[in-house]
């Protein structure tokens, strides 16, 4: 995966291969077999941006992950102009590999204008220097997993904030599926791109925010079931992903990812998050549904139902 901010920028430098058709290159040096979902989000959004007039930043996207992508191969993104209005522009982007569609994104762009404003303020949390680097927080992961994480996400600085004050209560008793104590269904972390980016282009920073938004979100739905981040025993995959961009903020400065999960069932989990800038307030809202299917020895046992409550 990208090892620096420059590598991230290069990943979004798409080649035009036809009329409103673009080629996104595979991430270099990746050990992953499947294409990272955030890469598909970011490249597809950049393809859409390439067909949109300037002065219209993205305000919303919805994406469906139809098949697993091959991480070693490039992806072709075909853009369809759905609407070009006076205030809004809409695009549909289909991602293809090996002659099959693997991904679809719809995005809406809005001309900047004044209007009513309100927002929920950023929660009070420890500053980034007091948070724990994510690699260090992976205490239960084996050395190979820690090394994999450190190498794959070298371009990003991710720091976990200590568990939030929320209690988790079991309705049906029994051992927690993951074998670890149940955790809060809320998790917060600070993130930024390690390197300062030369460009402050709106399209670049909104695409990079989409890239990062897929990382760690689905794991929030597993916390109440005793599965720490990256714990084995669960098949994970993003199914669909939605984002609302409230303002475009630089991703090479610290941003807070405030994540929670209100529901899981039927081998699917739902997670919701807000992205905050400490200086500018709420930047984005993210909702994701994903597959969280028990496998191996865990699939042979009933999964306890858990009820969440805050105290």
Annotated catalytic sites, by residue?
214, 238, 288
- The DSSP string of the chain is ---SHHHHHHHT-PEEEETTEEEEPPPTT---SBPPHHHHHHHHHHHHHTTS-TT--EEEEEEEE-S--BTTS-EEEEEEEEEE-SSEEEEEEEEEETTEEEEEEEEEEE---------PPPPP---GGGSEEHHHH-TTS-HHHHHHHHHHTTTEEEEEPPPPS-EEEESS-S--TTSS----SEEEEEEEESSPPS---HHHHHHHHHHHHTSSSGGGGGGGGT--TT-SSEEEEEEEEEEEESS---TTS-EEEEEEEEEEETTEEEEEEEEEETTTEEEEEEEEEEEEEE-GGGGGSPPPPEEEE--
């Amino acid at each position: 995966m990208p090892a620096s901010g420059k590598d991230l920028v290069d990943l979004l430098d798409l080649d035009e291969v036809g009329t409103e058709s673009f080629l996104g290159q595979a991430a270099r040096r990746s050990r992953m077999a499947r294409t990272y979902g955030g890469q598909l989000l970011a490249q597809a959004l950049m393809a859409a941006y390439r067909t949109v007039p300037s002065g219209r930043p993205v305000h919303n996207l919805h994406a469906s992950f139809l098949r697993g992508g091959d991480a070693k191969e490039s992806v072709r993104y075909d853009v369809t102009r759905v609407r070009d209005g006076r205030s809004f522009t809409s695009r549909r982007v289909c991602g293809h590999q090996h002659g099959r569609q693997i991904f679809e994104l719809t995005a809406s762009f809005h001309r900047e204008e004044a209007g009513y404003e309100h927002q929920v303020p950023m929660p009070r949390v420890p500053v980034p220097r007091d948070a724990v680097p994510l690699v260090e927080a992976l205490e239960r992961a084996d050395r190979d997993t820690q090394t994999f994480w450190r190498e794959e996400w070298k371009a990003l600085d991710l720091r976990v904030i200590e568990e939030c004050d929320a209690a988790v209560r079991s309705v049906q008793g029994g051992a927690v599926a993951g074998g670890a104590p149940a955790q809060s269904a809320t998790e917060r972390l600070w993130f930024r791109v390690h390197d300062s980016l030369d460009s402050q282009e709106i399209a670049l920073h909104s695409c990079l925010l989409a890239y990062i938004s897929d990382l760690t979100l689905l794991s929030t739905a597993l916390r109440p079931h005793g599965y720490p981040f990256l714990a084995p025993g669960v098949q994970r995959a993003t199914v669909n992903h939605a984002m609302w961009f409230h303002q475009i903020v630089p991703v090479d400065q610290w941003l807070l990812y405030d994540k929670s999960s209100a529901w899981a069932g039927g081998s699917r989990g739902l997670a919701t998050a807000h992205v905050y800038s400490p200086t500018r307030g709420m930047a984005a809202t993210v909702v994701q549904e994903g597959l969280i299917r028990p496998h191996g020895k865990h699939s042979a046992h009933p999964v306890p139902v858990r009820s969440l409550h805050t105290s």
